[in-house]
Amino acid sequence: MHSSNEPPARLLLRMAWPMIGSQVFLLLMQFADVWMLSLLGRHALAAIGPAMLLVMTASTLGTGYLTVTNTLVGQSYGANDRKRCIHWAWHGIWTALIVGILLLILYPFSPSFMALLGHSPIVQQFENTYFQISLLAMVPQLVALSLSYYFLATHHPRRVLLGGILLVSLNFFISYSLVFGYFGAPKLGIAGAAWGTVIASTIHALFMGTLFLLHKPGESLRPSFAFRDLKKMFRIGGPAGLQDAIEWGTLGLLLFALVGRFGDAHLAAASVLMRCLQLALLPADGLGSALMALIANAIGAGHHDRAELLANIGLRIISSYMALVAVGFFLVREPLMQFFSNDPIVIQIGIQCMVCVCLFQLFDALNITFAHTLQGAGDTAWPSMISFILSIFVLLGGGILVINYGAVFASFGIWSLAAILTALQGGAFWLRWNSGKWKSIKLAPTTLPLPSTSLEGLESISALYQQEAQLRSGMSMIPSPLLKDPLKKVFQTVSLENIPPITSR
């Protein structure tokens, strides 16, 4: 199913480039929305940043859960178990449907969320409109993401890229038409951008579902459901979803809540800076997703040493990319701010805070790399706990101190805290990976290859049964040489085709 002879760096890049391309297209979609709404004035520009982050924070509860689809499908693929791959793909779809529907509960609470941010009334109105409509896109977005993880884990990333191109193209055309009222569409302003995302996401999900059903003709893709396995996905994916929600909630929403205390100009600059952050984060996240799939493949095949090698290669590639982007941002920080705003106050604030954004990129290479490697190994609870603790103490606690005792630093102080938080979090994830605790985590069952048709092959089967019995009883068992005679008799009377495959438990 996958080439073990291909150099790991080449394999990672081959797997990653379609994911990176898909994330770049997603980034272009977000940039296009920000650009379109910036033409509506400062208030719309100030609102789109927090509103998008509220949507992303809500969706990460589902997207984090669904990373386990990548992990479980990937480990099953590494173990050459095609049926389990399809089984986990269907359970990813069920998980996406459940979480997407549950997230609609947030709809009536949207005005309260916006009021907590403390922004001006007109900004709150724009934020609420965008958030409530965008909730309707959760189900199709999560279903499409789950199928994307399936294709990535089974080494078909180009299908993900194809879906991303379709999504971005549709979103730009539909949103542009609805925001400004072109091509006979109603002029809806900021609501048009949200409705464009809902419509494009629904078509994208249908497209990915069609690719899934047409993938591997002749194989059974009949829907499967096991409540035990659904619980397993929630047990493993739950902490990952919590971790992602904490990261976006604290780094994004909390950042906007704190920055918003200094006025709409600081808030508008923060919206632009967050888009610049995503310019670096989303392509790196695409590479991290490919790294997660390959880590899961290696662990599923029992090759922990290969997983460690892939992690080191991934870190070097992601670090190089993030450093390059940081230098680029620093050099073009003024024209970049001028592209998104003609307000001199907003431009000046953005130029100052861009220094923190550049430092953020350098530290986030560790964060992105080892967050994905740990998720590929199924180690999700510890990282989510660390993310929560650091976010509360560094960003929330530090932000309150800046507002009350360091107001002279304004939003520059808040962005500095975000860079410190990322550095501490990345270092913690790096230490966790290097501790090796992830090696003891067992997720998907591993189907061992059937031994060759020889007496030695039968002896290896017997040895495996003995190992399993030893694990069950906790007692030491010594293979007896007397086993050879009975095995010869078995070899003469039993066809190997009737011997069930041995699975590790």
State the Cα–Cα distance between residues 142 and 149, nearest whole angstrom. Answer: 11
**The pLDDT value given to residue 30:** 74
What are the backbone dihedrals phi and psi of residue 39, each rounded to the nearest 5 degrees, phi first?
Answer: -75, -15
Residues 392 and 488 grouped into a single domain: no
Residue of 463 and 79 predicted with greater confidence:
79
Q: How many domains does the chain have?
A: 2
**The pLDDT value given to residue 327:** 92
Residue 220, domain extent: 30-440
Q: Which residues, including other chains, have CB under 8 Å from residue 401's CB and lie 6 or more apart?
A: none
**The pLDDT value given to residue 343:** 84
pTM given for the model = 0.62
23 is a domain residue: no
Q: Which residues, including other chains, have CB under 8 Å from residue 339's CB and lie 6 or more apart?
A: none
403 is a domain residue: yes
Given a cut of 50, is residue 342 above it in pLDDT?
Answer: yes
Residues 172 and 307 grouped into a single domain: yes
Looking at every residue in the chain, the average pLDDT score rounds to: 77
Residues 390 and 338 grouped into a single domain: yes
Residues 276 and 422 grouped into a single domain: yes
| Burial profile 325-346: b = 16 or more Cβ within 10 angstroms, e = fewer | bbeebeeebeebbbebbebeeb
State the Cα–Cα distance between residues 122 and 44, nearest whole angstrom. Answer: 9
**The pLDDT value given to residue 216:** 62
Mean pLDDT of 369-374: 90
> What pLDDT band is residue 312 in, cutting at 50, 70 and 90?
very high
Q: Which of 413, 440, 467 is the last residue of a domain?
A: 440
Residues 220 and 291 grouped into a single domain: yes
> What pLDDT band is residue 242 in, cutting at 50, 70 and 90?
low
445 is a domain residue: no
> What pLDDT band is residue 461 in, cutting at 50, 70 and 90?
very low
Residues 278 and 426 grouped into a single domain: yes
24 is a domain residue: no
**The pLDDT value given to residue 3:** 46
Q: Nearest 5°: CA angle at 263, between 258 and 264? A: 105
Q: Which residues, including other chains, have CB under 8 Å from residue 351's CB and lie 6 or more apart?
A: 333, 334, 337
Residues 424 and 277 grouped into a single domain: yes
Given a cut of 90, is residue 67 above it in pLDDT?
Answer: no
Residue of 145 and 31 predicted with greater confidence:
145
**The pLDDT value given to residue 220:** 56
Choose the weakest-confidence range: 122-126, 128-132, 247-251: 247-251
Mean pLDDT of 3-19: 71
Q: Which of 440, 468, 483 is the last residue of a domain?
A: 440
10 is a domain residue: no
11 is a domain residue: no
Residue whose entry in the numeric block shows the structure tokens 């600081």: 266
Using an 8 Å Cβ cutoff, are 200 and 141 in contact? no
Residues 309 and 212 grouped into a single domain: yes
DSSP structure string for 383-408 = HHHHHHHHIIIIIIIHHHHHHHH-GG
Given a cut of 90, is residue 207 above it in pLDDT?
Answer: yes
**The pLDDT value given to residue 501:** 45
Residues 459 and 430 grouped into a single domain: no
Residues 360 and 486 grouped into a single domain: no
16 is a domain residue: no
Q: Which of 37, 296, 86 is nearest to 189 (CA)?
A: 37
330 is a domain residue: yes
Mean pLDDT of 307-325: 91
Given a cut of 70, is residue 481 above it in pLDDT?
Answer: no
State the Cα–Cα distance between residues 141 and 202, nearest whole angstrom. Answer: 7
**The pLDDT value given to residue 384:** 79
Given a cut of 60, is residue 302 above it in pLDDT?
Answer: yes
State the Cα–Cα distance between residues 163 and 335, nearest whole angstrom. Answer: 32
Angle between helices 304-331 and 333-340 (to 10 degrees): 80
Given a cut of 80, is residue 278 above it in pLDDT?
Answer: no
Indicate the residue type of 235: R
- What percentage of the chain has pLDDT greater than the value 90? 12
Residues 399 and 468 grouped into a single domain: no
Residue of 146 and 48 predicted with greater confidence:
146
Residues 463 and 430 grouped into a single domain: no
**The pLDDT value given to residue 133:** 93
